[in-house]
Structure 1
Amino acid sequence: MTDRPPLPPFTRETAAQKVRGAEDAWNMRDPERVALAYTEDSRWRNRAEFPVGRAQIVEFLKRKWNRELDYRLIKELWAFDNNRIAVRFAYEFHDDSGQWYRAYGNENWEFDAHGLMAVRHASINDMRIAESDRKYHWPLGPRPKDHPGLSDLGL
């Protein structure tokens, strides 16, 4: 099995690296690539869906990014301990009618010894926003290194 650094046990620095790596990957919106960060039998809770394993994760992400258009995400480390990381996040997207949303949430992650995520619990709330209230304007793809994070944006 190939390791996916950084590996647990996490330090503040390595936990922050893991969070930024996940953010960058999700902002690429490539389900197959994102799924490689999870164990073969990874268990998720995402809103009211409970994907298990990479194949279900890929299908979930395809549906998600077909619905959530122009998706841009920022994650922030909240806490960490040994092989667990807690994250808060906010992302912006619009639906096919052009209505913009900002989704706010928290995630709890648990990693195996190889640095793959075995468990992901996400709680998410959506809020309608006007296009003029958007805060994420970078080109599609990873957030630029100089773009403010959640705390800097007052989120």
Structure 2
Amino acid sequence: MSDVRPPLPPFTRETAIQKVRAAENGWNGRDPQKVALAYTPDSRWRNRSTFLTGRPAIVAFLTDKWAREHEYRLIKELWAFTEDRIAVRFAYEFHDADGAWFRAYGNENWEFDGNGLMRTRHASINDVAIREGERLFRWDAPGPRPDDHPGLTDLGL
């Protein structure tokens, strides 16, 4: 059934890390329709100053995001977890239509239903301008971060 997304709550450290990596891989695939399926049909989001509800709004938001944020690459890392909630820190790199590069830093708080679908997502994000030579996230994209590519802690972020 597509409305079940293992691992399911209650989370252990191992399954929380699996959930974080699955989310990272999904977003790095940059397919808004596919990504939206990881959220409940009535999922509620706050992303920076944008508030949205439901999969159609998530698809529209991500379609617009990835049309503006070129060469998008994301790394997420587990920060904390409880039985049905996960907190992550993340960073992603992208360039805009003018070729200016940015690294965005943020934190997310997630709440899941019993089927492992995210019902609530709160994201706080800050963008920092970087030079192309300062990029740290270099792998073929779109697609998942290779297993041997360093994570945030290893990169000193």
Please give the TM-score of this superposition, normalised by the length of structure 1. Answer: 0.99
- The 3-state SS of whatever aligns with 2:125 is strand
How many angstroms apart in 1 are the aligned matches of 2:4 and 2:99?
41
Query: Which residue in 2 is equivalent to 1:142?
Result: 144
Aligned length: 155
Give the aligned partner of residue 22 of structure 2. 21
Could you tell me which runs of 5 or more consecutive residues in structure 1 were left unpaired when the two chains were aligned: none
Matched, 1:44 2:45: yes
| Equivalent position SS for 2:52 | coil
Report the residue type matching 2:145 in the other structure: R
Aligned to 1:30: 31
Seq. identity, %: 71
Structure 2 stretches of 5 or more lacking a match? Answer: none
1:95-106 superposed matches below 5 A: 95-106=96-107
| Whole-angstrom distance in 2 between the partners of 1:9 and 1:115 | 9
1:51 Cα deviation from its structure 2 partner: 1.3
Alpha-carbon distance between aligned partners in 2 of 1:3 and 1:103, rounded to the nearest angstrom: 30
TM-fit CA distance, 1:3: 1.7
**How far, CA to CA, are the matches of 1:68 and 1:48 in structure 2?**
17
Q: 2:154 aligns with which of 138, 149, 152?
A: 152
Verify: 1:76 aligned to 2:77, yes or no: yes
Deviation at 1:136, TM superposition (A): 0.7
SS of residue in 2 equivalent to 1:44: strand
Q: Once superposed, what is the RMSD of the aligned Cα atoms? A: 0.7
Deviation per residue, 1:39-70 (Å, 9 max, x gap): 00000000111110000000000000000000
Q: Map Cα deviations across residues 67-120 of structure 1 (whole Å, 9 max, x no partner).
A: 000000000000000100000000000000000000000000000000000000
Large movers: runs of 4+ above 3 Å: none
Q: Which amino acid aligns with 2:146?
A: P
Amino acid at match of 1:124: I
SS of 1:151's equivalent in the other structure is: helix
Tell me what 1:123 maps to.
124
Q: Provide the residue aligned with 1:109 in structure 2.
A: 110
Once the 2 structures are TM-superposed, how far is the Cα of residue 123 of structure 1 from its aligned partner?
0.1
One-letter code aligned to 1:52: T
TM-score of the superposed pair, with normalisation by structure 2 = 0.98
Q: 1:126 Cα deviation (Å)?
A: 0.1
